[in-house]
């Protein structure tokens, strides 16, 4: 069997031996491992086009792979691909029953388990899993990878983060390594402006927990009124803005004919202060960590406006499978 695990972004780091995410934009590492699997256990997914790079046979191919599916909705059974076995029911219960059935057969030999884990480790090392050189970049404007490294080191283990839409979310879900499952929330496709109101809701539900919204300047511009709500209702969220003065995904997609996808420089920290919130402008990599510490300890709604590079593109985090 494959011995490899791939997760959607909301399941990030649920399992130690995972090989990356494969939802919407398949990571190179996930595509490599998944395509080599002889057994695929699909839990809570229809394996539709958005999850399988348009049903790419290099990723999923029932003619060479055995497909097993677990889903609570009977209509999803073999929705996109013919499955050898479909188990209809709550994922947690079905998985628990599956574990019991497998336990009765006995565990693989210790040497076999070690060999599988070592194989996963080798693939992760070869693909530089969460080991991108730009995590240590001192480049100005700031590289998103450096921002996410500092962000991870600054937050509590149970901090809740909400994402927006656009390249900022692709970068976040690709380069940010969560500390626990269920700590990263995001919208469906194209829902710009989601991060701030989602963070407000998260903080109201769990006021003692650190709650941060991570958004681009385009999405934040659509949700600035949320900071007025945060001020009026005293909801101390932290908003981290990746500010590259552009609708990144749109502008990169337009190539050499950009139309209505660039902004004049906007200082969102100044705007936050004018609203009555706390605002911090970050233009140097060394200032990221102090700014985040200040924001998280302020006890006030805070905007951390990070001037980021336009150089990274959605193409950087797009697997070759998506283009094949």
Q: What mean pLDDT is reported for the chain?
A: 88
CATH class name, domain 5-126: alpha beta
Task: Give me the pLDDT at residue 116, please.
Answer: 80
Mean pLDDT of the 112-126 span: 80
Domain residue extents for the chain = 5-126, 133-317
CATH class name, domain 133-317: alpha beta
Where b means 16+ CB within 10 Å and e means fewer, 100-130 reads eeeeeeeeeeeeeeeebeeebeebbeebebb
Task: Give me the pLDDT at residue 35, please.
Answer: 75
Tokens of 53: 């790079």
Q: Answer with the residue of higher pLDDT: 129 or 292.
A: 292
Tokens of 150: 């500092």
Task: Give me the pLDDT at residue 320, please.
Answer: 66
Mean pLDDT of the 14-26 span: 47
Q: pLDDT band at 14, cuts 50/70/90?
A: very low
pLDDT in tens, 144-164: 999 999 999 999 999 999 999
pTM: 0.81
Task: Give me the pLDDT at residue 108, please.
Answer: 80
CA dist 107 and 105 (Å) reads 7
Contact 22, 48 (CB under 8 A): no
Q: pLDDT band at 9, cuts 50/70/90?
A: very low
Which of 95-104, 141-150, 262-271 shows the lowest per-residue confidence on average (mean pLDDT)?
A: 95-104
Count of beta carbons in the 10 Å neighbourhood of residue 304: 28
Backbone φ and ψ of 257, nearest 5°? -130, 60
Task: Give me the pLDDT at residue 321, please.
Answer: 64
pLDDT in tens, 220-237: 999 999 999 999 999 999
Check whether 71 has a pLDDT greater than 80: yes
SS3 200: helix
Q: Strand ranges (DSSP E) for the chain? A: 5-7, 18-21, 39-43, 66-71, 85-88, 160-163, 184-185, 211-216, 238-243, 278-282, 302-307
Check whether 4 has a pLDDT greater than 80: no
Query: Would you give the DSSP letter of residue 183?
Result: -
* Same fold yes or no, 5-126 and 133-317: yes
Task: Give me the pLDDT at residue 113, please.
Answer: 84
Q: pLDDT band at 25, cuts 50/70/90?
A: very low
Could you tell me which residues come within 8 angstroms of residue 267 by beta carbon, excluding any fewer than 6 positions away?
A: 281, 305
Q: pLDDT band at 198, cuts 50/70/90?
A: very high
Check whether 5 has a pLDDT greater than 50: no
Backbone φ and ψ of 246, nearest 5°? -160, 155
Angle at CA 133, nearest 5°, toward 130 and 139?
125
């Amino acid at each position: 069997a494959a011995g490899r695990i791939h997760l959607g972004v909301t399941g990030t780091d649920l399992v130690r031996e995972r090989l990356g995410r494969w939802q919407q934009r398949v990571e190179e590492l996930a595509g490599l491992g998944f395509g080599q699997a002889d057994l695929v256990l699909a839990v809570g997914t229809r394996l539709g086009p958005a999850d399988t790079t348009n049903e790419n046979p290099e990723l999923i191919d029932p003619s060479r792979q055995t497909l097993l599916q677990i889903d609570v909705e009977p209509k999803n059974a073999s929705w996109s691909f013919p499955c050898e076995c479909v188990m209809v029911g709550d994922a947690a219960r079905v998985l628990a029953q599956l574990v019991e059935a497998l336990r009765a057969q006995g565990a693989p030999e210790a040497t076999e388990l070690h060999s599988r884990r070592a194989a996963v480790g080798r693939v992760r090392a070869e693909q530089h899993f969460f080991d991108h050189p730009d995590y240590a970049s001192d480049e100005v404007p700031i590289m998103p990878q450096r921002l996410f490294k500092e962000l991870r080191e600054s937050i509590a283990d149970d901090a809740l983060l909400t994402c927006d839409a656009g390249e900022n979310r692709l970068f976040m879900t690709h380069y940010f390594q969560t500390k626990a499952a269920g700590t990263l929330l995001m919208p469906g496709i194209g829902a710009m402006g989601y991060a701030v109101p989602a963070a407000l809701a998260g903080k109201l539900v769990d006021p003692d927990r650190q709650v941060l919204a991570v958004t681009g300047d385009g999405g934040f511009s659509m949700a600035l009124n949320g900071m007025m709500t945060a001020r009026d209702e005293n909801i101390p969220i932290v908003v981290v803005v990746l500010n590259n003065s552009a609708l990144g995904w749109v502008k990169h997609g337009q190539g050499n004919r950009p139309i209505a996808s660039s902004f004049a420089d906007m200082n969102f920290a100044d705007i936050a202060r004018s609203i009555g919130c706390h605002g911090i402008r970050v233009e140097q990599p060394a200032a990221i960590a102090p700014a985040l510490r200040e924001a998280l300890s302020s006890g006030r709604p805070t905007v951390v406006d990070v001037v980021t590079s336009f150089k990274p593109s959605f193409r950087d985090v797009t697997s070759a499978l998506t283009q094949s």
